[in-house]
Structure formats: C-alpha cells, structure tokens
Chain A
Amino acid sequence: MGGSLSDFVTIAAVVGVAVAAIWLVRRVLRRLAHGRQSVRRVLVEDALKHLRHCESTGKPASLEGLSGVLQISRNEAVEVVRRLESLGLVQSADGGLRLTDVGRRDALRIVRVHRLLERYLADRTGVDEVRWHEEADRREHLLSSEQIDRLAAEMGDPRFDPHGSPIPTASGDVGPAPGQSLVELPPGTHAVVVAVEDEPEVVYAQLVAEGLTVGTPLRVLDTGPKRIRVEALGEEHVLAPLLAANVFVRRLAAAPPGPDTWEYLSELAIGRSAKVVDISPVCRGPQRRRLLDLGLVPGTVVRAELASPGGDPTGYLVRGAVIALRRSQARLIRVEPVEKGAA
C-alpha cells in the first residue's frame, strides 16, 4: 500500500538530486571535451578569419590586434601565429602579418562557412537577428565539409549573407565588394542599403534597432562630422558617423517607385483593398518564397476579406484565392491603399 508524506518527500529528493547530478556531470564532460579537443583549431580558424577581414578592409594585421579580437593573451597569440606559419598559412612581413595564398584560400573557406550559417539562421530558424553572428561563430567549427555542402545545396547556394556580405563560393570566388559606405554620400542622394557590417556587435545592434536592414531604401538629408541624417521607412533617423560607416549602400538614380506613405497590410480594414508595394526584407527564406508564389508580388491588388474570431489570422483575397495570413506576416507587407472596386 501507499506511503506517508515523508516517503514521498524522500523519493522526490532522491530523484531531484539524481537529475541534478547527471546534468552537472554532462556539463563538465562536455566542457572538458570541448576544451581539449579543438581550442587550437578554433583559434586557428578565428585567426584566419580576422586576417582575411583585415585584408579585405585594408587595415594592417598585427599580433596585438589578433590577441584583442580572439581575446587571448599575447603569448597565446604568438603560439597561434607560430602554428599558422608552420602550416604555411601566414607569413610575417614588414612588421605585420599576411596571409599566404594557401592561407587566403583556407580563410575564405571559413568565411564561407560562417556566412552560410548566418544565412541559414536568418532564413530557416527563428534565431534573433542580433545573435546570428555569435551563433554562427559557435557552429562553424562543428560542421564537416559535407554537412556544409548539403546545407548550401538545400538553400540554393546563396551568394549573399543576411547582412549583404558576399558568400565565397566553394572554389573561393568572392565577387565584387558591395556598395559604398553611407558616410560618402552627399545630401539629397537616394540609395538602397545593400550590406551592413555585423562587427562590432554593439554597433550592429544599434543599426538593427534603427531598422536599417539590407534592402531598405533611404534618402540622405544632411551629413556632418558629428552626425548624419537620413530618411528611411517614412521616418527620420540620426546616425553617428561610426554607425553610418558600417552601412553600405548603392546609389539610385531617383527615388524608388512607390507611395510616400508607409502602410502595411496588417492595418487594412476588412472590405478594403490595397496594392502591394513590396515585402519587407525581414521576411526571408521559405516564408518569403511562399508569399511570392501565392501572388503577393509588387503591384498585386489584395482585399481583406475575412476576420477570424480571435482577430488573427485574417483572410485576404489574392488573385482570386483567399489566403489566411497572421498579423506578424501581414505587418511585413507594405501596401498602398486603392479605391474600392479596383480588385
């Protein structure tokens, strides 16, 4: 027959302790394995990435810079460089560090993996935007080359990561640098954001908060040594030059076609029609493709048809079919109201 309260409590305590013990042991084991195994490999790969970054931005690479970025002591940095040199990936020249051809090839491979992972995280997972870089940093050392290749194939071999940076191909082709920096544009220019630098993370987080993502059109209002004012998404934004320097744009000859107002499908009342202007670049991957396939391309006229009991989702008439979309999706579709009867 049953037991008393004390029995119950004892059992619960034993079970609780057992679970905690197992969890702790696993944590420790994982740390040990991780620690021993590829700290060296991880450091080597991160070092190559840093050197490649310096090369592409034209900044000189030094031992101090390396130890700072990798967050290791100077002695450890010396170790890493020595290892890189023994592998033939790096050579010390003119007081700085330079990649050899083999080193550059390896560095590009790692950059490729990193950016593919960022693209995967952006398109196919719900991971938050500010964590893509850090998460990709973590995962890039864990995947084999077959896994990477399969990932790339599944995503259709993307050429640009979600920040707009080019993803090197498997054969090391990098393509042209994206656009020019926002600070270089004179007032009055129209442009569209093609890339946003994702390091340092603090700066990137601020740019994300401003809403200046890849694909956003903007107009430069005025520039100055202390700040830069732009108009984007229907609002004015003031950026410090440090922030603006990390935004890369492509100049446009004229303002992109579309209304002056910024309205979204989620605001459309039942029974009213609107014309699709564009789908926000925040809507990515399979979700974006599905919306396009259903006919929500720029210029399509849609009408809000049916409200569900909870208010969300709403049914929209798109090219003759009623498609239900959640508010979180409808909020990403920019529209322009049209007169009734135009549907």
Chain B
Amino acid sequence: MGPHDCSRCAGCPVHPLAQEADAGVNRDNVDFVVALAGNPNTGKSTVFNALTGLRQHTGNWPGKTVTRAEGSYEYEGSRYKLVDLPGTYSLMAATTDEEVARNFILFGRPDVTLIVVDASRLERNLNLVLQVLGITDRAVLCLNLIDEARRHGLEIDVARLAEELGIPVVATSARFGRGIDELVRVVHEVATGRVVCRPRQIETRSPVLAGALGKLQPRLEAAFPALPNARWVALRLLDGDRRVSDAIGSGELENLYQEGQADTAERPPDGDGKPTTPGREVVELASALRWDVGPNFHQSVVEAIYTEAVRIADPCVRRTGVRRRFDWDRALDWLFTSRWTGVPIMILMLAVVLWITVAGANYPSQALSDLLVKTIHPELKQGAAAIGLPWWLRGVLVDGMYLATAWVVAVMLPPMAIFFPLFTLLEDFGYLPRVAFNLDSTFRRAGAHGKQALTMCMGFGCNAAGVVATRVIDSPRERLIAILTNNFSLCNGRWPTQILIATIFIGALVPPYLAGLVSVMAVVGVALLGVMFAFVVSWALSRTLLRGEASTFSLELPPYRPPRILQTLYTSLVDRTIFVLWRAVLFALPAGAAIWLVANVQVGGESLAAHFVRLTDPAAVFIGLNGVILLAYVVAIPANEIVIPTVLMLTIATAGTVAGGAGTGVMFETTESSTAAILQAGGWTLLTGVNLMLFSLLHNPCSTTIYTIYKETGSTRWAAVATLLPLGIGVVVCLAVAQIWYLFV
C-alpha cells in the first residue's frame, strides 16, 4: 500500500471530516469549535448567550427532534463557533439527548468542550464532567452560579478543584457577566494548545470492573496507540455500546485520531467501513469479557464515578456556615406546593396569564387587522387591477391568499407574542416544575405525566407549540399521550370564535347586564370541558392504544431564580412565536387560495361552495351544525382563526343576501350585531351556536399542529390518530347534543 492519498479523503465515509459532518459540525469560516455541555438547570444557556450575544440561531440536530443552538464569537482574531449540546445527566447514550451530546463530543471532536456546572451541586454535576473527561482531554470547567453557592454558604476552592480534575476551572456568574472574560481567555488557551490538560480518570476499586478493564484496556492501547481515551472506550465496549463497538471494529474511531500521521501503511486506504482485524479482535475480547462482568456492570460504573466525584468534591467544597436568615426557596416551595395555597395559586396564575393575553392582544390585533385588512388589502386590489391582472388571478392572490394570511397573522401574532414570553418567564423562574409536581398525582391516575399540565397550558397559547413542548417529557408513552390530547386545550385561535358565538347566542339569553359575565363563563366552561376531555382521552389511550408502552418518571425541582427578561423575550419571540407563525403562514397561503376558489368558481350556475353546502346541509343539520360550518372547517383546516370570516362570507354567498358591505366571495368580519343578523338570516339557532362552540373545541387540530405532530413523532400513524380521534369525538358529541335537543325542543 502506498502513501496516504489526501485527495480521496473527502469522499471517504470513515474520514474525520465526513464523521464531523455526520455529527453536525460545519467548520467553514471557523477557527475553533467549542461544545457546550452540562446538566440541565445549570445556567448553560445563560453562558451561551453571554458568549454569543445575539449571534446565534436555533434548529434541530440532523435527523432528530432535539433542539440545537449554535452561535459564534471572536477572540484575539480567532473565530469561534459555539455549539450548545442538550442538557444531559450522563453520556452513556441511554436517551436521544445523551446520544446526540456524546456523538458530538466523540465524533465531532470539538476543539474545546466547555462544561457548565452548578457550583451548589458539584458532586452530582461531576458525574457528567468525569464522563466528558473520559472522552476528551481538551476541556474547561465553567463553575457557574457561584453567587448562588455563596448565598447558601458554600465556598469552592477553585484552584484545588482544577488540580484534582486536571483541567482549568473558571468560576462565573453568567447572569451578571462575571467571569466571562476569563472564561473566554481560558478557552482560547486550551484551544490553541497553550494550556495542556491532564484530566483525571475514573479509578476502579470494584474487582469486577478492575479485572475486566485490566484485560481489555491494554489490548485496546496496543491495537490503537493513537487513541487518547482507551479507558473510556473499554468501559463503553464492556457496557455493550453498539455505536462505539462498530466504530472500533471498522477503524472509524481510530481514524479520527490518526490525522496528521503520514504513515498509514497498515490501514487500507479506502477504509470502506468493513471491520479491520485488530479492531475485530478487540471487539471479540470485549464480547467475551461481558459474560464475566455480569448484568450489573452499568451500575458498577456509575458507582465508581460517584465515588470519584465525592473524593474530588469533598476537599474542594467548604461550608462557611454563613446563610441568609430567610430561606426564599423553602418559603416559596411551601407557598406553591402546600395543600391550601398550592392549587389556588396555580389557578390564579393561569387565569392571570390568560387574561393578560386576551386583554393585551385585543388592541394590537385590532390595529394589525386595520392595517393589513382594511388599509393594505384595498390598496393591493387596486394595484393588482392597475397592472392588469385578470379578475380571477386578482381574486386568488389578493382576496384569497393575501387575505387569509393577513387574518392569520393579525389574529395569531399578538396573543402568541404575549403568551409565550409570560409562560417562558414562569418557566425561567422555576415555577412550572412545581405545577407538574402538584398535578402529577391527578395525571398519573389518567395514565399520564405531571409535565403534561405544562404542555396543556402551552396548548392554550398554541397547540403546535404545546406539541413541541412535550419534548420535556422523557417517557415515550406519556409523551405520546400528551401529544395526542394537546388539541383539547383551547388554543388562542379559537377564542375569538368562542367569545363571539357565546356573546351572540348565549349572552342573548340573559338580561344585558349579565350578558358579558355569562358569555365569559360559557367560554371558560368550554375550556374546562376541553381539559376534562384531555383527562378522559388520556386515560382511555393509556388503557387501549398505548397500553403496555414504557413509562418512566423523574422531575427535578430547580431552585427559584429571577427570570432573565430580555433573554426570555428574545428566545420566546424567535424560537416559539416566529417558528409557529412561519409554519402557519405557509399553510394559510394555499388555504386562502382554496377558499376563494371554492366561493367563486362556478359550476353549472352555482359556485362550488353552494354545491357543497347544499349537499352536506342535511347531514350537517343532523348533527346540529350546517353545511356552511362544515365547509368553513374543511377549508379553514390551516388555521382556526379564519373560521368566522369564512363562515360569514359563505353564509352571505350562499344565502344570497348582501350585507356588511363586502365583495362577493371575500372573507370579512363585521361588528357583533351585524354578524348576529347575518347568522340569523342564515338560519342559525341556539343549537347551531352551542354545537359550533363544541365542535370548535373538539374538531381536528389545525394543519400546523398536524404537521408538527408528524415531525415530532416521526410517524404518519400517530398524526392520523391525532387528527381523526378529536374529529370523531367532536362529531359524536355534536350528534348527541343535537339529537337530544331535537327530542326536547
């Protein structure tokens, strides 16, 4: 075999560059890549923001539904790319998060791994630190939340800790920006090689571990001298880690560390992934040794890690005995979780958030709709006519696509822009885990997880965001249940419909001075009905479709921390609001076109809409609705917001009256009283109103949500269930209500 031919490297699957690309690293225009690892709740994202400012963007890891944030900064002329790994407790690849993090550090080979640690919980955090140090020897420890530690009377000997661990340690308080400069400097020193780390390796006292390692590690080191992390690799092989085992057998892992070595005479130049002999021997030895280590090997490893963690942390952490006289954490915990105050505060908190959202969104929504619909829309129409577009093209583009999108934006954007930040503030503060803690016993009886309370609350803002929020639920079964029932949370887009119909039909039943109160209570009643359905359906799903699937539970209650307001505003606006809005607009455009076409394309003298309404009216009335509502729901599948404008438009188009001053076949909204008049002229009764409220609660999710469910579950089957289940329930409930109504009224 001849000398290594560099020109063939790029296409080779086991070349480090290709592996890095697989692990999601792009080194273009970048000098150094830094990975950011750490336990959850250590302030890792604060560190991330402190280093990158606003130069960051979020996405997903390739092929996985795990969030990935990337940012960049410059230091002394070098360009740094910072990759935020998911917060994990360990790297033994038991969950997707851990797998992603481990693969990035091992195969992506960042220049520096920056581990963020909570100074008050050093022992527990050292579990992850020691595992990282097993994989890479270029790491820096960021001892964050040092101010909190001091407040609790803990004094950390930073120098001693650095000595024990063998890597640099920087104490920071990222929230206040303290220590960040030094952190950046130290990272630079490690990245450029000015500082060399000699990380501490886990000692193994257990005879079982020591025996097996004693046989495997030397063989590994002899076969692959370039491997810097032989001990860790040996432990992974003995634990049955398939990814690592494949990487050893095929030579992939070894190739990662062979860069720069000119002589590759023993390796095949193509490295096409087939097992090489020394690798296979090592894997076979590990396989034989696995019988000796027994079924509790994994536990022995974790015990060894924690023994080491205690040995390192004990001499470095000192309790000074200086504590604040008033323990905020204890007091707040008592307040939020005690039997008498816990639940009322929860209800109050949710009510306040919802009220602020509804009240606060009113004016911006009105202003936006005035702007987009009342002002720009006619301008666009004139403009389109002026440049000579044919009437039908004008209709589809301006009256259909633009108008639908404008409605969606005007109605969707303001509430989300208020609700998401409020919710994220509560999350940051640390209150939300307490909600899950309080409600878990109720959810457990329904076969679900306490954190579903949080995703349901999120669903009150937007169901698509609620579905994405279910990522916090680790357990697969509980997560699926939360996803499938999220639609029963009455999302922002449906409130206008509910409020309007309640005011027109239910408020009209009582004297005017009570009308407002009764309408609100009706809407609240519908929302609570939705919550009840969520519980019942969760329970049913856990007994039937999802019976026998895995179920795990764990919930960490982090300390209370003042929320970072600006950072929250930014992340909730960009990550949640814009993301959902973008998807919604994407679906609204074709829907708008469909709506206009359906109302304006004439076949045999009647518009398509009129045909549809005529054909489906009998069946629709049978379940207490009417053909117009059915058609409106079919075309409004992209967004619940456009149901009412579409209903009004269709009612007029098919009933033949012209009121409200709108053009033919164009969605619109008017005052409450004209709306009432139009609907009454269209034959709506109290039953229609009530059933519309019920159907609006119980029908299939909007297309944005369906698409999000498809992406999150990766399965068309579950997306279909999520669509058809609520729809089926909605039809059955409306049918029952209608038939009982017809019996008695």
Residues of A at the B interface (CB closer than 8 Å) are 1-5, 8, 123-127, 152-153, 156-160, 164, 166, 169, 173, 175-176, 214-215, 285-295, 297-298, 300, 306-313, 315, 318-326, 329
Residues of B within 8 A of A310 (CB): 438, 440-442
Given contacts A125-B549, A308-B437, whether A322 and B298 have CB atoms under 8 Å apart is no
Judge whether A2 and B621 touch: CB under 8 Å.
Answer: yes
Judge whether A286 and B94 touch: CB under 8 Å.
Answer: yes
* CB nearest neighbor in B for A329: B553
Counting chain A CB atoms within 10 Å of each CB, which of B90, B95, B554 scores highest?
Answer: B554
How many cross-chain pairs have Cβ atoms below 8 Å apart between A and B?
A: 164
Judge whether B554 and A290 touch: CB under 8 Å.
Answer: yes
Judge whether B342 and A309 touch: CB under 8 Å.
Answer: yes
B550 contacts partner chain A, Cβ-Cβ < 8 Å: yes
Given contacts A173-B287, A307-B337, whether A292 and B299 have CB atoms under 8 Å apart is yes
Judge whether A323 and B89 touch: CB under 8 Å.
Answer: no
B548 contacts partner chain A, Cβ-Cβ < 8 Å: yes
Residues of A within 8 A of B288 (CB): 173
* CB nearest neighbor in B for A322: B557
* CB nearest neighbor in A for B127: A293
Q: Which of B606-663 contact A (CB under 8 A)?
A: 621-622
Partner of B123, one of A8, A290, A292, A320: A320
Cα-based distance from A322 to B124 in the complex (angstroms): 12
Known: A125-B549, A125-B550, A298-B303. 15 other contacts (CB 8 A): A2-B741, A153-B242, A156-B239, A156-B298, A157-B240, A290-B94, A295-B124, A308-B337, A308-B440, A308-B441, A309-B343, A315-B437, A319-B121, A324-B433, A325-B553
Partner of A293, one of B90, B240, B296: B90
Judge whether A127 and B548 touch: CB under 8 Å.
Answer: yes
Judge whether B306 and A295 touch: CB under 8 Å.
Answer: yes
Residues of A within 8 A of B553 (CB): 287, 313, 325-326, 329
Cα-based distance from A325 to B554 in the complex (angstroms): 6
Residues of B within 8 A of A309 (CB): 337-339, 342-343, 438
A and B contact pairs by CB, cutoff 8 A, 7 listed: A294-B124, A300-B306, A312-B444, A313-B450, A313-B555, A321-B121, A324-B556
Residues of A within 8 A of B622 (CB): 2-3
Partner of A323, one of B240, B343, B557: B557
Judge whether A294 and B554 touch: CB under 8 Å.
Answer: yes
Q: Which of B542-567 contact A (CB under 8 A)?
A: 547-558
Judge whether A297 and B548 touch: CB under 8 Å.
Answer: no
B120 contacts partner chain A, Cβ-Cβ < 8 Å: yes
Partner of B444, one of A290, A291, A326: A326
Cα-based distance from A324 to B303 in the complex (angstroms): 21
Judge whether A1 and B550 touch: CB under 8 Å.
Answer: no
What distance in Å separates the Cβ of A181 from its nearest Cβ neighbour in chain B? 19
* CB nearest neighbor in B for A287: B552
Residues of B within 8 A of A158 (CB): 240, 295
Counting chain A CB atoms within 10 Å of each CB, which of B120, B291, B294, B477 scores highest?
Answer: B291
Cα-based distance from A160 to B295 in the complex (angstroms): 6
Cα-based distance from A127 to B557 in the complex (angstroms): 30
Cα-based distance from A4 to B743 in the complex (angstroms): 7
Judge whether B333 and A306 touch: CB under 8 Å.
Answer: yes
What distance in Å separates the Cβ of A295 from its nearest Cβ neighbour in chain B? 5
Partner of B291, one of A8, A125, A166, A295: A166
Cα-based distance from A306 to B327 in the complex (angstroms): 15
Judge whether A308 and B299 touch: CB under 8 Å.
Answer: no
Judge whether A290 and B127 touch: CB under 8 Å.
Answer: no
Cα-based distance from A160 to B551 in the complex (angstroms): 22
Cα-based distance from A300 to B127 in the complex (angstroms): 14
B160 contacts partner chain A, Cβ-Cβ < 8 Å: no
Judge whether B550 and A291 touch: CB under 8 Å.
Answer: no
Cα-based distance from A123 to B441 in the complex (angstroms): 23
Cα-based distance from A35 to B541 in the complex (angstroms): 30
